[in-house]
Amino acid sequence: MPKIIGYTPPFLSRPSPGSRIFTDPEPQSPASPSKRTSYLGALPSTQYQGPRRLVASRGTEVFTVVGNKIRWADLSAVRDEWEDSTQSGTSRFGQSRSDATEATGDSVYRTLAVPVYYQIRQISISPSGLFLAICTEHTVHIAVLPDPSRLKEHDRSPLKVKTYQLGPTVHVIPESPLASVLWHPLAYATASTDCLVTVTAEAAVRVWEFDKANGWSLDRPKLAIDLRKLADGVSCDQDFEPSGFGKTRGFSVDDFDMEVSATCFGGRGREDEDAWASMTLWVAMRNGDLYALCPLLPSRWKPTSTTIPSLTTTAVSRMAAINDDETDMDERRAADQQYEWVQEIDNEEPQIHQSTDSLGEFEFRFRPQNPSAIPRLQGPFTIVPEEDATEIEVSDIHIFPAKLDEQDLFEGEDDYEIDQGLVQPIPFTTICVTTAENQVWFAIDLDGVTGQWLPKKGKSTFGVPSSDATALTLVDVVTLDGSATDAAGSWPVFTQDIAHNYSIFVTTSKHVYSLSLNDWVTQLGAELSGTEPVDPGLRTRLETRCQSRVCLTDKLIEVREPSEALSAPTIIDDTSLGYFLLTATSNAPYGVVFDQVPIGTSTVGPSLTDFTMSSSHLESQLANIPSSPIETVPAREPYCPPKIFYFNQHIPIDSMRQRLPPHLKKAISERPMRLSPAMLEIMTFAHRAVGVQSAGLENAAAELFRRCERLRVELAGQVKQMTELAQQLQRLTASTEEDENGNVKERKTPETRIKEARERQSKLVARYEALRRKVGRVGSANRELSSKELAWMHEIESLGRNVGIVGEEEDDEQEGGRRDTTLDKRFATVKQLTRSLVEEAHGIEKQQQQPPASPKGPPALDASISSISASSITPSMSASQITLTSRPSGAAASPRSSKFSGLGVSSRLQKEAIADIMAAVERESAVIEAAMRRLERLKMEY
């Protein structure tokens, strides 16, 4: 979603001269009287229900409809003049600032005089920028746009442009009104030719390949199709041309079921789109049914670099997929026709258009003649689920085409380089439909639409066309306006965002919204277009993806005047002017300036207005989004003076006076006023007009007062934000900081931290180099060991054998058996002596317990013997444990005993440790002998 950085530019806001481009000047005289019963009543008006596209752009040039006139202006020149006038105080035409504000009609815009006498409803510039389509409710005119250099002349008088009426006997008032007028994205466009597709409400599709040098091409279309006839067709040899002017038509149910509401092409002629998309015309009926015509091409068309390879790959793969006997005959016939159509394109040599104009040189091809120029009508497709009984009234349709996998398409071709960062295949088509209830429905088509034709006469295997509808996969429904104040005139329309692939703008009568599906579509496309095999979690991920946020909604513009209606906007993306949206009402322009970002990068970011999930109403969405703590861009639109402040207050009274009969004009101007019913009616009307104007002025002044009060509050809030920002900056630049324990410590600057990190890195590199050199010296030279090294190695091996540690080979040989080492033998001897001493102590105890051979020993002797018998000496204990047990209480083991756990010790340390051990053994032996002598002495005494 584009990020908002501003609103209507100052050079287009009042009182700058640029604001006069989009406003209707004050009428010089009231409208002429019309035939009606009361000369004081309102002017008759008919409610128009249809698209309003009154603003178009070509680079920095803008075309707009004001009243029923077309104005042209170069926004770059308007901005430059405004900047010069604000700096120097005069305009570039020698006027002062006050005079330039009043006389802007001759300086900032130019009127294009076109012979269109009905109310203009739509204007559209061709992709080549050379033609302008001007549409009323029933007629279409093609204006040849002059060169920009001629439009930028200093002479600002009205410029008469060459204009042609398209279909003077087809698109006329008695016939069906127009539903859509589209420029073909694959048209063979030159300086004098182009292709326009018109669709009427009665489902008549006409392809006009006009040439301004050939007047006949403007009278009759190159291809005309009646969709109601085509829906019931069984052979391509039938006549599907719409009924001519003045021919009577019978009643048909299709008059209601196939009333066209809007149409659009499935692509824009880009190289990364699916090849069938740009030649597919999607038709939306008012009742919600969708149809597709594929392929719909002019007789000469311009393919992209990926169109022909993609068509060939699709046709060949489809033929290979149905190469069996179980395939349905209808599908086999459709695949054969598609293969025949593509083969004719492959066998044709491309034609080269030589041109010296701005369009340059390009290739074009002729439309294949077989199977037919008229494709089969595919559909209906339903966007409303079958179990849902909701009835919708479609107002517009927009298609996001499937994206090609260019890496797979051009695999193996060395001369075609693919930017891997920009290739993101999308294997499905996204369909957007808006309704008159200000709702937007989003659905996806996983199968896609490819070329299909009716069979030849006498070779039909299709039979009667099936009327069963194909259900699309509905993913989300967005409700824009909670309550439409003017339901009869509500007609939401789409506008494509030229800078982002999956962003669109929706315009209602009072609002403009931005809708973005970029994140959701790309993430779902990555899941569906993966080359890895389907894993068990794919279904769960897809269900989660469909239940997540689909569309990001942002309200851009809101108009509060009840009598004004917004036109569909135009998008301008220029390096000098910036990237902004521009729309207008009959009284003022409205704009939104976006942040310019490179195409292909993520454009989703925080916006100034609120956005949430699109499953609920937008009013509830706009109230529950947390805002950022510090806003760095303006959060509201600038103040625009109400219309009542600059409206000519004399117009209602002058208009009434102009419509009065001659005798009443003399009665109020030349003769003395006399009381009469006619005079009372005049006075009543004048009082009512003055009352309405005074009420409007009061409301506008009250709104201005409220704006001033709100401005004070917002200014205080901005001062508070600046204070918080200053405090944050002070904390960032402070010399001390608090750690996690609350202790104050010195803050290190980024330069100091970078310097310390570099020093640590240099030390690590030095250590690494030293170790690398040392290891290299060890492993690079195959030198023999010295005599000292050999002696030390033999000493370690002998010590290991003494303590029971052997090598891996010896360990494998003696695995499972007990090793007989010197220490093991000594340990066994100690345990045997211990057992003999214990047995001897028990024997002495038994002899002492025999009465009356000898008196009982003292309690101390019994306690000593019991202590010895209850000793913890067991055969499984080690020698060190026996030594510790036999010591007095509190004695500790020698700390040098731990040195025997390792082998990397010198012989001197080993000798000292063995000496310590022998001393300890001698002390223990002395203790045991002393204890035995004491026992013998006690026995002799008792």
Taking residues 914-931, report their average pLDDT.
Answer: 85
Taking residues 846-855, report their average pLDDT.
Answer: 64
- Other beta carbons within 10 angstroms of residue 46's beta carbon come to 7
DSSP symbol at 569: P
Backbone angles phi, psi at 58, to 5 degrees: -140, 95
Token code pair at residue 500? 């982002």
Token code pair at residue 612? 């949430």
CA–CA separation, 188 and 281 (whole Å): 17
pLDDT tens digits, residue range 213-239? 888 889 999 999 999 999 888 888 888
pLDDT of residue 104: 46
Is 136 in contact with 199 (CB distance < 8 Å)?
no
Classify residue 182 by burial, with Cβ atoms within 10 Å: 0-12, 13-18, 19+: middle
Among 36-40, 375-379, 415-419, 582-586, whose mean pLDDT is lowest? 36-40
pLDDT of residue 687: 86
Taking residues 305-317, report their average pLDDT.
Answer: 88
If one compares 813 and 662, the residue with the highest pLDDT of the two is 662
- Other beta carbons within 10 angstroms of residue 244's beta carbon come to 9
Dihedral angle, C-alpha 840, 842, 844, 849, nearest 10 °? -170
Backbone conformation region of residue 201, classed left if phi is above 0, alpha if psi is from -120 to 50, else beta: alpha
CA atoms within 13 A on the CB side of 110: 23
pLDDT of residue 31: 44
Token code pair at residue 562? 């009840």
323 pLDDT tier (thresholds 50, 70, 90): low
If one compares 814 and 115, the residue with the highest pLDDT of the two is 115
Q: Closest Cα partner for 40 from 695, 693, 694, 687? A: 687
pLDDT of residue 301: 92
pLDDT of residue 765: 93
CA–CA separation, 553 and 607 (whole Å): 10
| Helix (H) / strand (E) containing 289 | strand 289-293
H-state helical runs in 529-676: 538-547, 618-621, 643-646, 651-659, 662-669
Instruction: Measure the CA angle with vertex 900, ends 897 and 904; round to 5°.
Output: 140
Token code pair at residue 307? 């169109």
Select, from the ranges 328-342, 462-476, 671-685, the one with the highest average predicted confidence (pLDDT). 328-342
If one compares 583 and 615, the residue with the highest pLDDT of the two is 583
Instruction: Measure the CA angle with vertex 135, ends 134 and 140; round to 5°.
Output: 85
Select, from the ranges 24-38, 344-358, 466-480, 509-523, the one with the highest average predicted confidence (pLDDT). 509-523
The partner residues of 477 in beta bridges, in order of sequence, read 441
Is 59 in contact with 570 (CB distance < 8 Å)?
no
Token code pair at residue 722? 């600046």
Classify residue 482 by burial, with Cβ atoms within 10 Å: 0-12, 13-18, 19+: exposed
The CA–CA distances, whole Å, from 671 to 664, 667, 668, 682, 881 equal 10, 5, 6, 15, 141
- Per-residue pLDDT at 67 exceeds 50: yes
Token code pair at residue 360? 């340059």
pLDDT of residue 827: 74
Look-up: residue for tokens 């199977």?
371
Classify residue 154 by burial, with Cβ atoms within 10 Å: 0-12, 13-18, 19+: exposed
Token code pair at residue 353? 């258009």
Token code pair at residue 608? 């100034």
The partner residues of 131 in beta bridges, in order of sequence, read 144
- Other beta carbons within 10 angstroms of residue 850's beta carbon come to 8
Max CA pair span of the chain: 170
Backbone angles phi, psi at 265, to 5 degrees: -85, 150
* b/e code 370-381 from CB counts within 10 Å (16+ = b): ebbbbbbbbbbb
CA–CA separation, 751 and 25 (whole Å): 63
Report whether the peptide linkage leading into residue 851 is cis, meaning its omega lies within 30 degrees of zero: no
Backbone angles phi, psi at 143, to 5 degrees: -105, 135
pLDDT of residue 780: 56
From edge to edge, which strands make up the β-sheet containing 362-366?
A: 300-301, 362-366, 351-353
- Other beta carbons within 10 angstroms of residue 855's beta carbon come to 9
- Other beta carbons within 10 angstroms of residue 655's beta carbon come to 17
**Residue 10 amino acid letter:** P
SS3 132: strand
- Per-residue pLDDT at 609 exceeds 80: no
Q: Closest Cα partner for 593 from 604, 585, 581? A: 581
648-656: Cβ within 8 A, 24+ apart: 648/26, 648/27, 649/693, 651/26, 651/27, 651/30, 652/689, 652/693, 653/686, 653/689, 654/29, 654/30, 655/30, 655/31, 656/39, 656/40, 656/682, 656/685, 656/686, 656/689
Beta carbons within 8 Å of 753's beta carbon, 6+ residues apart: none
pLDDT tens digits, residue range 690-709? 888 888 889 889 988 998 99
- In this structure, the strands spanning 110-113 and 159-160 are parallel
Average of per-residue pLDDT values in the chain? 77
Is the pTM of the predicted complex or chain greater than 0.85?
no
- In this structure, the strands spanning 223-226 and 204-211 are antiparallel
Instruction: Measure the CA angle with vertex 886, ends 884 and 890; round to 5°.
Output: 60
CA–CA separation, 740 and 457 (whole Å): 86
pLDDT tens digits, residue range 29-38? 444 444 333 4
CA–CA separation, 261 and 17 (whole Å): 39
- Per-residue pLDDT at 865 exceeds 60: no
If one compares 840 and 569, the residue with the highest pLDDT of the two is 569
Is 110 in contact with 158 (CB distance < 8 Å)?
yes
Taking residues 324-330, report their average pLDDT.
Answer: 69
869 pLDDT tier (thresholds 50, 70, 90): very low
SS3 657: helix
Instruction: Measure the CA angle with vertex 622, ends 617 and 627; round to 5°.
Output: 155
Taking residues 281-308, report their average pLDDT.
Answer: 93
Is 907 in contact with 826 (CB distance < 8 Å)?
no
Token code pair at residue 397? 């349709």
pLDDT of residue 901: 43
Dihedral angle, C-alpha 260, 264, 266, 268, nearest 10 °? 170
Is 293 in contact with 278 (CB distance < 8 Å)?
no
Q: What is the CA radius of gyration of the chain?
A: 48
pLDDT tens digits, residue range 182-209? 999 999 988 889 999 999 999 999 999 9
Q: What percent of the chain has pLDDT over 70?
A: 73
Taking residues 754-774, report their average pLDDT.
Answer: 91
Helices and strands (H, E) in the chain, number of each type: 22, 35
pLDDT tens digits, residue range 776-823? 766 555 667 678 878 888 888 887 777 666 555 555 555 444 455 566
